[in-house]
Amino acid sequence: MRLHLNVETLIASPSSDAFNELCKKVSALTDALSHLRGRAIANDKDAAANAIRTAVMTLNAIHERAERTGTLAVTEMEALSLRNASGAMDIELGKIPKNVLDASIILVRQQLNEKLKQAA
């Protein structure tokens, strides 16, 4: 799982699928790091936590604009922010044991499925 590839896909061809895939991967990374650290990483100040915060804020801005305008697009500044964040997140991904990351991916998928069921 390499986030920079998902970032480049979203930038080159903005779509709901590309956006959702990147969101799922950032969520899985967040969950895995929280599990390994034994705490939520929201207030951590290291490069990985800062990169995740940057990515989440940027993805939220993209989503909010898409909700308002009906068009999913990535601005130059958002592209720069996501590219910068993906570097630090990819480094951190390389440090996470595969079993922990796999469990986080499964958890994120389950949470998404629950939200979709509730919305239906």
**Which tens digit of pLDDT belongs to each residue from 29-47?**
999 999 999 999 888 999 9
More confident of the two residues 115 and 47 = 47
Host domain of residue 106: 3-119
pLDDT at 64 over 90: yes
The whole-model pTM stands at 0.90
Q: Are 42 and 107 contacting, i.e. CB atoms less than 8 angstroms apart?
A: no
Q: Please count the structural domains in the chain.
A: 1
Using alpha carbons only, how large is the chain's radius of gyration in Å?
A: 14
d(CA 57, CA 61): 6
The b/e string for 53-64 (b: 16+ C-beta within 10 A; e otherwise) is: bbbbebbeebee
What's 43's DSSP letter? T
Tokens matching residue 62: 């993209």
